[in-house]
Amino acid sequence: MNRMPAITRSLLIGLLACLAGALIIGGAYDLAGARTTFLLLLPLAAMVLLLAHWMAAHRRRLGGLARQFRFGVIVVVGSILASVWIAAYAMFLSHHDAVVVSVMATVIGVVALRVGEIVSRGVTSDVESLRDGLEAVGGGSRDTVVEVGGDDELAQLADSINAMIARLGAEEASREEADAARRRLVASVSHDLRTPLASLRLLVESIEDGVATGQTRDRYISQLRVHVSVLTGLVDDLFELSRIEAGDIAWTMSRIELDALVGDMVEAMRTEADTRGVRVEADLPENRLLAEANPEKVQRVLFNLIQNAIRHTPADGSVTVRARSSSGEVEVEVTDQGTGIAPDDRPHVFEPFYRGGTDSSRTTEGAGLGLAISRAIVEAHGGRIWLESSGSGTRMRFTLRSPVPG
């Protein structure tokens, strides 16, 4: 039945209704009356139904919902009047009865028009709310909430529109946040490149002008080398960070012995720690600690965290690197006895180029990329890195996945 074209279905319904009417009249009165009823009503029913299809196809010409409904009522009341007068013509009704039924049908028609107006008012106002809401969204508003009075298809539409507005707002906010972060990054990069480049220019000019000679010249050349290596490190770090963040990860993951890796890294950092009078020690479990990771990248994370800890710990203080397994993961913690990170800085330390502390307390050694790179590496491994709260000093933790057994 559903496959049948709508017009055919309407005509079939009209035909069945006329047949039923004719059968009732045939049963109650006579067969001739039944045949007349059928033959007179069938073209009327077909005409009215075709008119309704025409209306549906040309809704645009009929204007608003209220007008469409009014037109529908007029067609229905018109068809009732026509059928009454057809019946009168066929002598089923007296002239008096036909007038009475016509007046009743007209009065009911007028009442139906008013009822339609009242009912369609709610629908119209909901449609207007939807239109106003969409116009507001189109105009840039993202806190619009479309409210409708009913609990019908229009209410479902309003719910979908509200969900869409919320999604748009969230997407725009995160895009704006990303844009602001990119602008901050560009500003920081320019600043961090400009400072060593200015020193480089001064040194080169002094050497070129012959101002620096002998030992001074040699010292300037070694300073030049330091600036060049700082710049190279900065550009390499930036490149690495942007590659990881873009998902361009070409590392191979393997089953690594994390305890051995941590032990080796602590040994490798001992010289730098000794120069500053800082003790550095590894606190490792007795048994092997396996992780699914890329060893060079994990070394990089460990290096960044231990270097930070050593840099911020005063002489005679100590740095501890602890590793252990924890509910299907492995967890590494780097604790130091330094000044700690100020509450205002804590939410930002993983942002690229963020250097905490005050200008005077800030170490001049870093670009503020170490923790950003560490976070990118750890997250690319499917792990987490965070700043654990600690009474004094700083406590950094990160996790890596344990290898799947077997």
Ligand X SMILES: Nc1ncnc2c1ncn2[C@@H]1O[C@H](COP(=O)(O)OP(=O)(O)OP(=O)(O)O)[C@@H](O)[C@H]1O
- Residues at the contact surface with Mg ion, assessed by CB under 5 A: 308, 366, 370
Regarding 196 and contact with ligand X (CB under 6 A), the answer is no
158 binds, among ligand X, Mg ion, none (CB under 5 to 8 A by kind): none
CB of residue 349 vs ligand X: minimum separation in angstroms? 4
Regarding 369 and contact with ligand X (CB under 6 A), the answer is yes
Q: How many CB atoms lie within 10 A of CB 109?
A: 17
Instruction: Extract the tokens encoding 36.
Output: 């007349």
Q: What ranges in 210-289 are assigned the alpha helix state H?
A: 214-245, 258-275
394 binds, among ligand X, Mg ion, none (CB under 5 to 8 A by kind): ligand X
Site string for ligand X, 265-304 (x = CB under 6 A): ---------------------------------------x
Range 147-186, binding ligand X (CB under 6 A) = none
Regarding 394 and contact with ligand X (CB under 6 A), the answer is yes
Nearest partner of 332 among 262, 280, 379, judged by Cα: 262
Range 12-71, binding ligand X (CB under 6 A) = none
Determine phi and psi for 284, rounding to 5 degrees. -120, 155
CB of residue 132 vs ligand X: minimum separation in angstroms? 49
CB of residue 342 vs Mg ion: minimum separation in angstroms? 16
Contact between 44 and 85 (Cβ < 8 Å): no
Site string for ligand X, 327-346 (x = CB under 6 A): ---------x-x--x---x-
Only one of the segments 28-36, 63-71, 285-293, 366-374 lies at the binding site for ligand X (rule: CB under 6 A); that segment is 366-374
Cβ within 8 Å of residue 300, ≥6 positions away: 373, 374, 377
Closer Cβ to ligand X, 148 or 367, answer by number: 367
Question: What DSSP element (H or E) covers 208?
Answer: helix 153-209
Closer Cβ to ligand X, 80 or 269, answer by number: 269
Regarding 367 and contact with ligand X (CB under 6 A), the answer is yes
**Residue 177 buriedness (CB in 10 A; 0-12 / 13-18 / 19+):** exposed
CB of residue 178 vs Mg ion: minimum separation in angstroms? 24
Contact between 293 and 400 (Cβ < 8 Å): yes
116 binds, among ligand X, Mg ion, none (CB under 5 to 8 A by kind): none
Contact between 287 and 327 (Cβ < 8 Å): no
Closer Cβ to ligand X, 10 or 394, answer by number: 394
CB of residue 383 vs Mg ion: minimum separation in angstroms? 19
Instruction: Extract the tokens encoding 268.
Output: 């490798």
Encoded amino acid at 258, one letter? L
Determine phi and psi for 364, rounding to 5 degrees. -85, 0
Only one of the segments 49-57, 145-153, 211-219, 368-376 lies at the binding site for ligand X (rule: CB under 6 A); that segment is 368-376
375 binds, among ligand X, Mg ion, none (CB under 5 to 8 A by kind): none
CB of residue 320 vs ligand X: minimum separation in angstroms? 12
Determine phi and psi for 305, rounding to 5 degrees. -70, -45
Q: How far apart are CA 137 and CA 143, in angstroms?
A: 8
Pairing of strands 395-401, 329-336: antiparallel
HSE (CB half, 13 Å, CA atoms) of 175? 6
Kindly list the residues in this chain that would bind ligand X in the complex (CB under 6 A). Answer: 304, 308-309, 312, 336, 338, 341, 345, 349, 354-357, 366-372, 394
